[in-house]
Amino acid sequence: MTARHQVILFLIMMKNAAANQFVLTHRRKNLATLATLGLDLGDAKERVMGLTPEDYVEGPDPDDKRPGDEVWVFGLEIGGQEVYVKVCVLSEPLLCTCISFHLADRPLKYPLRARAR
């Protein structure tokens, strides 16, 4: 499992990159989720910029589309729906690519959330 401080460092880097340039991959699943939830690209960016360590699901994992890059997975609850979010930060040019922003296919596990007692 990735340590909390590593997730925090990634989120700082990711938010810096997203502030510079944010790209949502135009996949049918992503666009359908935006429509279902009544969101636009600006709303998706705002949600990604608001990610916290508690939203962490997994990563870093190698990006199968771009050797040498890493992807990180987070989850969000929007309108009572769980949303799967996969992001990648590129340094040249500096940008945050949101590869996935769609309804979760299965329940997500959040290893950094405090467990109920």
Taken in order 28, 30, 33, 34, is the CA torsion positive or negative? negative
Q: Establish if 110 belongs to a structural domain.
A: no
Q: Establish if 117 belongs to a structural domain.
A: no
The Cα–Cα gap between 96 and 89 comes to 5
Which tokens sit at 30?
Answer: 């992503």
φ, ψ for residue 27, nearest 5 deg: -100, 145
Q: Bridge partners of 24?
A: 98
Q: Establish if 113 belongs to a structural domain.
A: no
CATH of the domain at 12: 3.30.2310.40
Amino acid code (one letter) for 79:
G
Question: Which segments within 17-64 are labelled E, that is strand?
Answer: 22-24, 56-62
Q: Establish if 116 belongs to a structural domain.
A: no
Asked if pLDDT for residue 116 goes beyond 80, the answer is: no
Asked if pLDDT for residue 72 goes beyond 70, the answer is: yes
* pLDDT > 90 in the chain, percent: 83
Asked if pLDDT for residue 117 goes beyond 50, the answer is: no
List pLDDT tens digits, range 75-109: 999 999 999 999 999 888 899 999 999 999 999 99
Q: Establish if 114 belongs to a structural domain.
A: no
With H, G, I as helix, E, B as strand and everything else as coil, classify residue 36: helix
Q: Establish if 109 belongs to a structural domain.
A: no
Domain carrying residue 18 = 4-103
Q: Which residue has the higher pLDDT, 114 or 113?
A: 113
Per-residue pLDDT, averaged over 36-44, amounts to 96
State which H helix or E strand residue 82 sits in.
Answer: strand 81-91
Number of structural domains the chain divides into: 1
Residue 36 CB neighbour total at 10 angstroms:
13
